[in-house]
Chains A and B, each alone.
Chain A
Amino acid sequence: MSVGEPPFQREITQLYSEHHGWLFTWLRRKLGCRQNAADLAQDTFARILHTRESVATIREPRAYLSTTARRLIIDQARRKQIEQAYLQELALTIDALEGFQSPEQIHTTLEALEQIAFILEGMHEYSRQAFVLYYLEELTQVQIARQLKLSERTVRKYLIQALVHCGHSMDT
């Protein structure tokens, strides 16, 4: 760190040296891919550099970094797709749902969906499907096995994998 460095540069350098290792490890466990994790960790710091907001006052740097990484994975385009699909289906099923959804409720649900999408990111395709069918759709493991054309044992194995993955995603 040279004396002539502007304060912002210094803050970032400090954030980087203290937390880059943690961010990379977390992303590697989450994404299961070293290369993607390294790229995303770099992109996360690049994004913070680019916004030029002061980072010295951040009280929970890890939460800040993980949120920034999440925004990069669930980017604008993807967020838009989630919202559109949700609102479109909501409009179609509005009568079947109990009660009217207030805009605030819709907003909260969209936030929740975005976070879940991030948690599920990096999960094996079958694990993700089994996980959603089991915990959202309330299907039994037998029904899931039939739907995905897998054995029950395999479905159980995928569910275990999914849960382990969720644990990693939440481990910030």
Chain B
Amino acid sequence: MPDARQQIEEQAAEWMLRLHEGELSEAQRLAFECWKQQGPHYAAAAARMEAVISRMQALRGKKSPARAALNAAFAEKKARRGKRALRSLLLAGSLALPAAALLLSPYPQQWMADVRNGPDQWQTLRLADGSALSLNGISAANLHFDATQRRIDLLQGEILVQVAHDQARPFIVQTAHGSLRALGTRFVVKREGDSTVLTMLESRVAAHSADARQTLEVAAGSQALISTDSVRLTGSIDPASINEAWRRHQLVVENRPLPEVLDEIARHRTGRLQFDRAALQGLRVSAVIPLDDSDHALQLLAQALPIKLRAFTPWLIVVNPDPTPKK
């Protein structure tokens, strides 16, 4: 009798709400007990609902991630449409992207960027003026190209720029920390926490801090750190090996703390890489690491260093120090 069953379920739901709305009086509690004892279906219906409610309540300690996850579970179709639309706009090759349609999107700024690159991806775009822009890992940039300027706003990640010569329009890469004006050239720009790293491969760039107080001309083979109020040289690099690394999708590191290298690998991974920064800070790395195969990259590090990898789903890998020495 489906109707009778439906009725029992609705009554059970009523009781669930009453239980949640406030303390039941003694009489009410008794009434609920009596209701449940009318038959096996009654108590079972209430028990099933209680089971779901307690599963929900168990997540209250992590409300906002749990909510984000459930939203994602049911926003799926919408999100897919959005991404597809963005991709087709990019395919259209339009540089001055009409962003208005995307402004309504719930995604942060990066998701609406003119060009965006995901983990496990490398792409090189030929720009309208003949310049080339390569992106690696999780990176995003907006392009502003018109009759008077060629400007790239780097929002996140790392790009390599090969600038085509154009006397009339300067070529500028801008970040929150400063701007880099190319004097005809090839260079890499990377955003880190509160600074931008410039690596010069050919010719020169004029680097300005965001507050416009500091300016420095950086020549090929040098690396500079730009923050909102300063520009300084940090050392020299080998342009040939960096060119090669970009070509082969590798990371070249020379005596860097492990957490920095893990940050870099994380930018190239879809899943999350979790580690205790302080515990790993003492380990230093000099290596050439494949970035287009981050699983392999992590394995290489685990072979060379006293660390242990634990994979909990393909989406979560935890790196811990390993106190037992390697054989």
A113 touches B64 (CB 8 A): no
B274 touches A163 (CB 8 A): no
Binary flags per residue of B6-45, CB closer than 8 Å to A gives 1, else 0: 1001101110110010000000000000000000000001
Residues of A in contact (CB 8 Å), total 53
Expressed in whole angstroms, the Cα–Cα distance for A106 and B59 within the complex equals: 11
> Are A128 and B69 CB-contacts (below 8 A) given A87-B316, A109-B62, A163-B12?
no
> Which stretch (B73-81, B94-102, B215-223) binds chain A?
B73-81
What is B's interface to A at a CB cutoff of 8 Å?
A: 6, 9-10, 12-14, 16-17, 20, 45, 48-49, 51-53, 55-74, 76, 79, 270-272, 274, 310, 312-313, 315-316, 318
Chain A residue, CB-CB nearest to B274? A103
A86 touches B10 (CB 8 A): no
> Are A84 and B63 CB-contacts (below 8 A) given A103-B316, A103-B318, A166-B48?
no
Expressed in whole angstroms, the Cα–Cα distance for A112 and B56 within the complex equals: 9
Chain B residue, CB-CB nearest to A140? B21
Expressed in whole angstroms, the Cα–Cα distance for A81 and B61 within the complex equals: 21
What is A's interface to B at a CB cutoff of 8 Å?
A: 74, 77-78, 80-91, 93, 96-98, 101, 103-104, 106-107, 109-110, 112-113, 115-117, 119-120, 128, 131-132, 134-138, 156, 159-161, 163-164, 166-171
Chain B residue, CB-CB nearest to A166? B52
Contacts of B59 in A (CB 8 A): 109, 112-113, 116, 136
Expressed in whole angstroms, the Cα–Cα distance for A103 and B63 within the complex equals: 18
Query: Interface SS of chain B: helix, strand, loop or mixed?
Result: helix
Which listed residue, A83, A113, A131, A164, touches B315 by the CB 8 Å rule? A83
A81 touches B79 (CB 8 A): yes
Q: How far is the CB of A102 from chain B (nearest CB, A)?
A: 9
B66 touches A81 (CB 8 A): no
Q: How far is the CB of A138 from chain B (nearest CB, A)?
A: 7
A156 touches B65 (CB 8 A): no
